[in-house]
Structure 1
Amino acid sequence: MSDSILDVAIIGAGVSGVYSGWRLLTQGVSRTVTIFEASDRVGGRLLSVTAPGVPACAKAELGGMRILPAVQPRIKQLLEELNQGVSPEQRIETYDFPVDDPANIAFLRGIHLRLEDFTSRPDRVPYHLSFLEHGQSPGNIVVNAIEQLVPGITHTNLNEYQRREMARNASFAGKPLYEQGFWQVLVRVISGEAYHLALDAGGYQSTLNNWNAADAIPWYLSDFGINPDYKGFKKGFQQVPLTLAQRFQEAGGELKLNTHVTGFEWKDGVAEVHFKDAPSVRARTLVLAMPRRALDLITGGSPMLQAPEVSQLVQSVTPQPLFKLFTTYTAPWWLPAGVEKGRTTTDLPVRQTYYWPDSSGQPVKNGSAMLMASYDDGLNIGFWDSFRPKRGLGWRREAQGIARPEVFKGRRERQGLADEVDPEWLKHHAPQAMVAEVQRQLGVIHGLSYVPDVEEAAFMDWGDDPFGGGWNSWNIGVKSWEVSERIIQPVDGVSVYICGEAYSDAQGWVEGALQTADRMLLKLGLIPSVKEGLKSPH
């Protein structure tokens, strides 16, 4: 162990980690700051890779893929700040990210629908809806249900903070919303068939699952309910943390990749941080910029995290499993099915398919093209267990010796041209059997008897260690507004801090990572990038 003591050690080079490091070195007093990252890359759950052979397509987003600038002020302001005074090549530029188009397909209960059919041809919808639900889109059914649960919350003149305030103060059927699950309250105001329609046609299982209703309601309205305007990234979302890491290093910070933390101890006002294959370091301040599962993995070597009051805070959220599979083709074969942009949803296990745009957000109509062939979450991913490696192994000891399924090797790799492929793409081989089954389901949902062979494929499961899930959701019964403040510095008087998307108001979004980082930095004397809105109840 070195005798020198760092001012700040940050564990994790995801967005919250590199953002915190950059702010610490460019605001306030002079500090020595080092970021330690277990993997060989910067970005956390942002992973943008170049798909081989599809030059017209935007980068494949194996991780997070979009933002909502209208309701996410921190990421909006951060992009403006990072773009100041830089060359055109260094700018972080966005495009309008297509999601739902009237011509998009919803293949539900064996019936092919267009999205416009929900309102224009409701008799074709194969669900036994009530007369009030008949003729509404699945999203509108949920939004109208939310208005019944919290009257007034869907008014368009409200901001995000006001909606959260309303939901956190609200009760339903005589019980506070935070003590109830989202699924639990939805089925009190809509039919069971309407709930299943929203679940099936919405494409996600975890968002309508039984997580804390007081948090789920404003979260749902932000993401799906109040005219969402998504933006994607022309050079990939990972450009954001990569730029932050570069600025951090230019400001004098040190970034150490492949440095696997195993735990820490707090002794005499200093954190002693231990690593798997490197000497321990000491720091006056320790920032754990880590999701719930990553914190679990170091708890055995961290007495502070084992304390019941801290453990309770850490366990107040649940990681939600999620994976993505990208496939490329010699042509956009889906055009004859009448779709060219946005996504198709289905109740088949493939769940969501996105027609991947070019870097300006426009559909690819000629030449090589790409799909996010499956975007799957929650319980749905259980279908794929026999097609893919066992879920959740990651760094666990039991991963040793387990047979791995045959992987799909793309055309270039088969031809010995792997050196022409983005190395990051090659790290994420998709299982051969999984690609074949996805192909079969793609033919069914598009009504086509023939689907061309896959050229290249990449797969990322965020349920594996150290992430544990693609995002985290607040547990039922948790007062998130209290936990999110307390977990920032879980032990009074001890300079150990926790930040990241998991314990934020915007779970699953980079905005949440920035929010908790700003709250942590405020405790270290830095002014937040965006002023918080209305105070939450206490």
Structure 2
Amino acid sequence: MLMHPDRIAKHIFVVVGVVLLTAALCESLIAPRRPNKFSPRRKGNGWKENVIKKLTDDLERERERQRQQALEDSICDEEVNIAIVGAGAAGTFSAWRLANDVNDHGTIMIIEATNRIGGRLYSVHVPNVDPSLTVAEFGAFRYNRNSQPKVTTVVDILGLENAVFARDQNNDDKPYSFRNQVIKQRDLTTSEDLPFFLFDNEKGLSTSEIEVTYFNATIPEGERDKPNDQMTTVYGYPFYFLGTRNVFTLAGSSEDAQNYYDGTSGYSDYIHNLNAAGLLSGSLGGGGGGGDNLRRVINGMDDITQTLYDEFMQYHGARSKLGTIVTDVEEVTGVTGDFLVVTMRNVVTRAKTTVCANHVILAVTRRQLQRIRWNGFYTSTNYRYIDAVYSDIAYRIFLSFSSPPFWKSPELETFKLHQGRTLSSQPSRNTYYYTAETNEEDSLLMIYGDGVHAMFWDDLIVNTAFDRFPGPDIYFPTPTVAVEQALQILAVNHNTTLDVIGEPKLAIAHVWSADHPIRVENDGTGEFDIYYPSEPWHVWRAGFNYTDIWEDIIQLDPQQNVYIVGEAYSLYQGWIEGAFETADKMLEMQFGIPPIEGPARRRSRRNVWEHP
């Protein structure tokens, strides 16, 4: 039965009166009496003074909270728990794993500078070329099932159709073109006409045998069973102090042995003098052998990142901002503690916005990292680790030919080319052949290189003044002058004429460089340049013990929740596995998410990983 309102008020009045009377009686009993009127009265003993002081303190704290909240509200356009900078392999993988964790991680935002997902996974479907043959991969174009368990597991979990990466390892007749001389692979170690001036002890050796010879001369026999980063050289200092060029020179190789070694590798990283211990351990490379272990995703390698992103966006707290460049990360003290303010600009409008986060994951390249203003770079004693890697420049040129293509012509049948790779000291460096099985489809050829050879193509490909050869609309369609030079080089590499090479039907190209802006059209209001660095891959510098520092780089400043992930500072540089590796380690260290090791299977609820 409810009580009448008048009776309720009467009861409240009685209760308050009793409380006041009791408090007054307690004060009179507890408080000491003054012996006389001249004795000073103690301040602060009265309940009234205590109550007033408490109320005043509470009011001041509330005012300070409101001031801080107002400051926080004025700083933050949006608030999230985790902000991920970069929608490449490391960024999308991190977002996907956080979204599928058994623990709810609140709002997660991906911030990406371009308007596409994938970063350095960049696949283009070429017209009239069957995707089951290949797609034009401007970024990563394969993975290794034997030595890269994280990528293998993710591809399987996502259900992405994959196939063997085609290459003809057993073709000893394929041409190698060095210094304008074409030599079959079988003759590399036997020909007296090899255009390199080698010492007598180097003649007849393969490049791998040359490597073994000089590395063994540098590492004492008793040290060779130790981990690479723990070996001591014959000179008394750690092996990781040396670059590959240092090893060859100190061991007394000829200059051309180094050139031969570099030429048959297909890459220029050795010229960069990369960390010799890293090379020996296979940190730059997939390892695990070739054959059926080398795989590709049929719909394109960027299907990995796109699918990770699509699944992440199904998460209840998922957000994303594309076409947005992060410029600053700053730690600020707020109402409930410290938080991070991420400042960014839209690449088209250049409008400045901010997002406040408890955690920031920087899934970017080394040069991109250095262009983000963050005070943690300077407060950390580990800042020097940021310069522990080289970043490179690379290019890809794809030419589409009607089938049968020139390499299947009668004039070149001596080389028995079908699928696979040939090498050259020319600016073409690596040439990959993808031959269609029927004449109704086009065959595809990829020219690919890095370092000093990329500089040959750099300004040709990005210069907008040249006429463009037909091709899909991507960042840098190939100028006709670059196609003409590519055809000239192909003629030299195959010891034939331009008539035999023929005219390609289509050409597309891309240069991965940290020094070129992307031209962005501003919705009819004019064109302007946005600086967007994008190195293709990284290698460890000599002098850094990468096995000790790669985990330290993940959280450069232990006092701030800013984490660095990606291929650049991994043990699998140049591969998707490296991006997944550092992201997995970060998620385990900071969020308690167990790493993917494979094989693994997905539960029907929330995609939790189980390891049998």
How far 1:127 sits from its partner (Å)? 2.3
Q: Give the structure-1-normalised TM-score.
A: 0.83
Match of 1:441 in 2: 489
5+ long unaligned stretches in structure 2:
1-74, 346-350, 516-531, 599-612
Match of 1:58 in 2: 134
- Given the alignment of the two structures, is residue 493 of structure 1 paired with residue 559 of structure 2, yes or no? yes
Alignment map for 1:379-398 (pairs within 5 Å):
379-385=452-458, 387-389=460-462
* Greater Cα shift, 124-133 or 107-116: 124-133
Q: What SS is found at the alignment partner of 1:142?
A: helix
Q: Distance in 2 between matches of 1:38 and 1:221?
A: 27
Match of 1:109 in 2: 179
How far 1:493 sits from its partner (Å)? 2.9
Match of 2:594 in 1: 527
- Given the alignment of the two structures, is residue 97 of structure 1 paired with residue 166 of structure 2, yes or no? yes
Query: What's the RMSD between the two structures over aligned residues?
Result: 2.7
- Of 261, 266, 277, which residue of structure 2 is paired with 1:214? 277
Match of 2:427 in 1: 349
Q: Give the structure-2-normalised TM-score.
A: 0.73
Cα 1:518–1:36 shift into 2, 3 Å: same
Q: Distance in 1 between matches of 2:216 and 2:229?
A: 11
Q: What SS is found at the alignment partner of 2:371?
A: helix
CA contact (8 A) 2:243 2:542 kept: yes
How far 1:434 sits from its partner (Å)? 1.4
Q: Distance in 2 between matches of 1:171 and 1:311?
A: 28
The alignment covers a number of residue pairs equal to 484
Q: Percent identity of the aligned residues?
A: 27
Match of 2:13 in 1: none
Could you give the per-residue CA deviations for residues 320-371 of structure 1, whole angstroms, max 9, x where no partner exists?
111111111223111232322211211112211111256xxxx777742111
Q: What SS is found at the alignment partner of 1:521?
A: helix
Match of 1:393 in 2: none
Alignment map for 1:73-84 (pairs within 5 Å):
73-83=149-159
Cα 1:104–1:208 shift into 2, 3 Å: farther
Could you give the per-residue CA deviations for residues 263-304 of structure 1, whole angstroms, max 9, x where no partner exists?
1101122110111135201111110011101112223xx222
Q: Distance in 2 between matches of 1:467 and 1:99?
A: 35
Tell me which amino acid in the other structure corresponds to 2:594.
I
* Greater Cα shift, 491-500 or 255-264: 255-264
Could you give the per-residue CA deviations for residues 22-61 of structure 1, whole angstroms, max 9, x where no partner exists?
1111113112211111101111101011112323641100
Match of 1:36 in 2: 111
Q: Distance in 2 between matches of 1:7 and 1:153?
A: 51
CA contact (8 A) 2:188 2:194 kept: yes
Cα 1:224–1:171 shift into 2, 3 Å: same
Q: What SS is found at the alignment partner of 1:512?
A: helix
Q: Distance in 1 between matches of 2:284 and 2:581?
A: 19
Match of 1:418 in 2: none
Q: Distance in 1 between matches of 2:161 and 2:207?
A: 34
Q: Distance in 2 between matches of 1:481 and 1:206?
A: 19
5+ long unaligned stretches in structure 1:
84-90, 156-161, 390-402, 414-420, 532-538
Tell me which amino acid in the other structure corresponds to 1:96.
F
- Of 509, 512, 515, which residue of structure 2 is paired with 1:459? 509
Cα 1:364–1:346 shift into 2, 3 Å: farther
- Given the alignment of the two structures, is residue 517 of structure 1 paired with residue 587 of structure 2, yes or no? no
Could you give the per-residue CA deviations for residues 171-202 of structure 1, whole angstroms, max 9, x where no partner exists?
34222122111111023344322221121122
- Given the alignment of the two structures, is residue 305 of structure 1 paired with residue 377 of structure 2, yes or no? yes
Q: What SS is found at the alignment partner of 1:97?
A: coil
* Greater Cα shift, 48-57 or 260-269: 48-57
Cα 1:225–1:187 shift into 2, 3 Å: farther
Q: Which has the larger radius of gyration?
A: 2
Match of 1:375 in 2: 448
Tell me which amino acid in the other structure corresponds to 1:456.
L
CA contact (8 A) 2:571 2:578 kept: yes
* Greater Cα shift, 255-264 or 239-248: 255-264
- Given the alignment of the two structures, is residue 198 of structure 1 paired with residue 261 of structure 2, yes or no? yes
CA contact (8 A) 2:468 2:479 kept: yes
Cα 1:222–1:404 shift into 2, 3 Å: closer
* Greater Cα shift, 50-59 or 344-353: 50-59
- Of 546, 553, 561, which residue of structure 2 is paired with 1:480? 546
Match of 1:399 in 2: none
Q: What SS is found at the alignment partner of 1:122?
A: coil
How far 1:106 sits from its partner (Å)? 0.2
Whose RCO is larger (CA < 8 A, sep 6+)? 1
CA contact (8 A) 1:92 1:240 kept: no
CA contact (8 A) 1:127 1:197 kept: yes
CA contact (8 A) 1:108 1:201 kept: no
Tell me which amino acid in the other structure corresponds to 1:383.
F
How far 1:94 sits from its partner (Å)? 2.8
Q: Distance in 2 between matches of 1:378 and 1:469?
A: 11
CA contact (8 A) 1:16 1:513 kept: yes
Match of 2:322 in 1: 257
Cα 1:154–1:76 shift into 2, 3 Å: farther
Tell me which amino acid in the other structure corresponds to 1:518.
D
CA contact (8 A) 1:117 1:124 kept: no
Match of 2:64 in 1: none
Q: Distance in 2 between matches of 1:126 and 1:64?
A: 32
Tell me which amino acid in the other structure corresponds to 1:406.
F
Q: Distance in 1 between matches of 2:302 and 2:84?
A: 19
CA contact (8 A) 2:377 2:556 kept: no
Q: Distance in 2 between matches of 1:50 and 1:377?
A: 23
- Of 244, 248, 258, which residue of structure 1 is paired with 2:312? 248
Cα 1:71–1:187 shift into 2, 3 Å: farther
Q: Distance in 2 between matches of 1:455 and 1:463?
A: 27
Q: What SS is found at the alignment partner of 1:280?
A: strand
Q: What SS is found at the alignment partner of 1:107?
A: strand
CA contact (8 A) 1:345 1:351 kept: yes
